[in-house]
Structure 1
Amino acid sequence: MTQKGPQRSGTLAHKVLNNNVVISLDEQGRERVLMGRGLGFGLKASDTIDPGKVEKTFILEGGEDGDRTRRMLTDVPYPVIEAVSRAVDQAERTLGHHLGRRLTLAVIDHIQFVLERLDKGIRIPTASMPELRVLHPREFAAATAMAAAIATALERELPPEEAVFLTMHLLNATRDEPNGTAALLFRRVQHVVHTVENGLGVTLDVESPDYARFILHIQFLLQRLVSRTMLRNADSSFFEFAKHSYPRSFGIAQQVKAYVRAATESELTDEELLYVIVHVERLASQIGAEPSGG
């Protein structure tokens, strides 16, 4: 989606979707989407495309995906397409990573949906998800900048939670993982955090270093579980000591273990559980909770 520059001279229009989006055929007969402000104005099939007006170009997929993309590019106002495309370009430069056509199309679709909801006075609130700032600071910062750039270009106010949604899009685009993997991992981290908060009866201080360490530890724990590289130690003495010395934190860790088992069908080792106990106890000390010992 981010390919730029003039097309070869003599490129002919195959279909004109609207004043700003035209489809041509490349040498292999594949449909190529060309976008630019006023590119399709007055253009008819078989007319020569003005290469100086082409701002973006990408190959259109076949089948249902291609049909959906065609409909979206026909229906979505070009200022939205333009604003999102430029914001994605900036995110690519910031992250030093090619984000691909799929991300741009997904964000165009998402932003248009948000704008339509706002026009109807509908806003679906979401949590601020402070864990994202800890786990993925670069992507969160890039997503925040994207949301601000899109809002400025469209002269619209976007809800602050858009940075969260855009971060999830960026994570899936910048990681060599199946689509949705980053979101699934993040939801699991969130569930563990909520389990700990409920167990301690508090809302954790998301700005504290102990919170950041805990979040990172849980992320790495879940990743080790997926890669089957969980921590193991033949010496169980420290685990037994923590288990009896910090019964409340041990109980919360057991709840985390039960959730992980239900969510992943994998069993946490005592060594992994030990570190969960230690982190929970540290968080309890940070918030001034009553001692766990009994």
Structure 2
Amino acid sequence: MKVINNNIVTSTQNDSEVIVMGKELGFNKTGGDIIPQAKIDKIFALNTSASVDRFKLLLKDVPMQELQASDEIISYAKLSLGKRLSDSIYVALTDHIHFAIQRLKKGMDFGNALSWEVKHFYNHEYLIGKE
């Protein structure tokens, strides 16, 4: 449907809008072009159009490394927890990582007021985050 950058495009799958990621997937492409299956690395099928819109806005500002880091963390979490996670985690975690990196670059360091609770009540998730 639309090229976001060289590696990310929006498309449709089963009458729903999806975000598709792959190396040079959007290079020299326009709306209506066919996406070669072999170039697709990841398809993000978010639950609502609001989630898709928020993710598209986020992708314009976020470097590819941050998106890939989010994807690796989520893949590890799914494996470690042994369950499926909502695709909306991609939006939330990518946004969180991007904002944390921006704060770090500006020398802003904020503590987490809930760190004790997270560590003790969500220990498995906390350990995944540390990893």
- Answer yes or no: same fold by TM over 0.5: yes
Q: Give the length in aligned residue pairs.
A: 130
Residue of structure 1 equivalent to 2:75: 89
Distance 1:129 1:27, change over 3 A: closer
> 5+ unaligned residues in a row in structure 2: which ranges?
none
> 5+ unaligned residues in a row in structure 1: which ranges?
1-13, 146-294
8 Å Cα contact 2:70-2:90 kept in structure 1 = yes
Distance 1:86 1:23 in 2: 21
Q: 2:98 aligns with which of 80, 96, 112?
A: 112
Residue of structure 2 equivalent to 1:17: 4
8 Å Cα contact 2:51-2:91 kept in structure 1 = no
8 Å Cα contact 1:37-1:78 kept in structure 2 = no
Give the alignment of 1:1-294 within 5 angstroms. 14-28=1-15, 30-60=16-46, 61-62=48-49, 64-127=50-113, 129-145=115-131
8 Å Cα contact 2:51-2:88 kept in structure 1 = no
Relative contact order (alpha carbons < 8 A, sep ≥ 6): 1 or 2 greater? 2
Distance 1:141 1:122 in 2: 24
Distance 2:115 2:101 in 1: 22
Distance 1:126 1:25, change over 3 A: closer
Distance 1:130 1:40 in 2: 43
TM-score with structure 1 setting the length? 0.41
Quote the offset at 1:119 in angstroms.
1.4
8 Å Cα contact 2:17-2:52 kept in structure 1 = no
Distance 2:12 2:123 in 1: 41
2:68 maps to a residue whose letter is E
Quote the offset at 1:116 in angstroms.
1.0
8 Å Cα contact 2:22-2:39 kept in structure 1 = yes
Quote the offset at 1:66 in angstroms.
3.1
Quote the offset at 1:128 in angstroms.
7.7
2:42 maps to a residue whose letter is K
More helix by share: 1
Larger radius of gyration between Structure 1 and Structure 2: 1
2:87 counterpart SS class: helix
Structure 1 stretch displaced more, 75-84 or 50-59 = 50-59
Distance 1:39 1:128, change over 3 A: same
Residue of structure 2 equivalent to 1:179: none
8 Å Cα contact 1:23-1:34 kept in structure 2 = yes
Distance 2:18 2:120 in 1: 40
2:92 counterpart SS class: helix
Distance 2:45 2:93 in 1: 18
Distance 1:123 1:37, change over 3 A: farther
More strand by share: 2
